[in-house]
């Protein structure tokens, strides 16, 4: 069974440019999470989806970040415009349901470098 797929794995952009990350969760997983992992830190939740609905986006900086999960499967996270401080790893995770009993499976992440 394929795991959580993310692309690209690496992205280097100039500041003020837009960037987008894509996530394909494990088949059948209706809950999807985007986490931000700064260097030397643990991941922090940006947004959580139940199917196509964003049920927790309280930590998403909405002035420059946006996310969508139009058909309740794949998801895209966008930053526009990117700032130097956005350099980090962006992790996607999915689970069968949004409960503590359903393990969250993580993708390999996208490492973003903003120059």
Partner 1 sequence: AQTVTQSQPEMSVQEAETVTLSCTYDTSENNYYLFWYKQPPSRQMILVIRQEAYKQQNATENRFSVNFQKAAKSFSLKISDSQLGDTAMYFCAFMNPYRGYALNFGKGTSLLVTP
User: What CA–CA distance (Å, rounded) separates 113 from 104?
Assistant: 26
CA distance 109 to 103: 18
Residue 53's contacts (CB-CB under 8 Å, 6 or more residues apart) are: none
Among 15, 40, 73, 83, binds partner 1 (CB under 8 A): 40
The verdict on 12 binding partner 1 (CB under 8 A) reads: no
Q: Would you count residue 25 as binding partner 1 (CB under 8 A)?
A: no
19 versus 93: smaller Cβ distance to partner 1: 93
The yes or no reply on residue 33 touching partner 1 (CB under 8 A) is yes
Q: If you search the block for the tokens 């996310």, which residue do you land on?
A: 67
d(CA 102, CA 115): 38
Residues that bind partner 1 (CB under 8 A): 3, 31, 33, 40-45, 48, 55-56, 89, 91, 93, 95, 98-100, 103-104, 106-109
């Amino acid at each position: 069974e394929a795991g959580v797929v993310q692309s690209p794995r690496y992205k280097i952009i100039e500041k003020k440019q837009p960037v987008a990350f894509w996530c394909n969760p494990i088949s059948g997983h209706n809950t999807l999470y985007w986490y931000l992992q700064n260097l030397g830190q643990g991941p922090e939740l940006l947004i959580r989806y139940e199917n196509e609905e964003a049920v927790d986006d309280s930590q998403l900086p909405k002035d420059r970040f946006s996310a969508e999960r139009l058909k309740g499967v794949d998801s895209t996270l966008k930053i526009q415009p990117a700032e130097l401080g956005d350099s980090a790893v962006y992790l996607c995770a999915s689970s069968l349901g949004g409960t503590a009993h359903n393990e969250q499976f993580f993708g390999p992440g996208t490492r973003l470098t903003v120059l």
